[in-house]
């Protein structure tokens, strides 16, 4: 567990959220790819 805590960030995300995500100074914008689907890029 210590290895995981030292080398990874644990993030809880709502997979259906369409708002922009701000993480570690980066902005991930939702891009629709279909009727009810999309990705944050």
Cα–Cα distance between 33 and 12 in angstroms, integer?
A: 23
Nearest-angstrom CA–CA distance, 25 and 16: 22
Residue 29 pLDDT: 94
Cβ neighbors of 38 (< 8 A, separation 6 or more) are: 18, 30, 31, 32
Q: Helix and strand tally (H, E) in the chain?
A: 1, 4
For residue 26, pLDDT beyond 90: yes
- CA atoms lying within 13 Å on the CB side of residue 13: 15
- Predicted model pTM: 0.60
pLDDT for 23 beyond 90: no
């Amino acid at each position: 567990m210590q290895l995981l805590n030292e080398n990874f960030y644990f993030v809880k995300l709502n997979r259906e959220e369409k708002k922009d995500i701000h993480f570690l100074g980066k902005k991930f914008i939702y891009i629709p790819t279909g009727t009810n689907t999309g990705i944050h890029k």
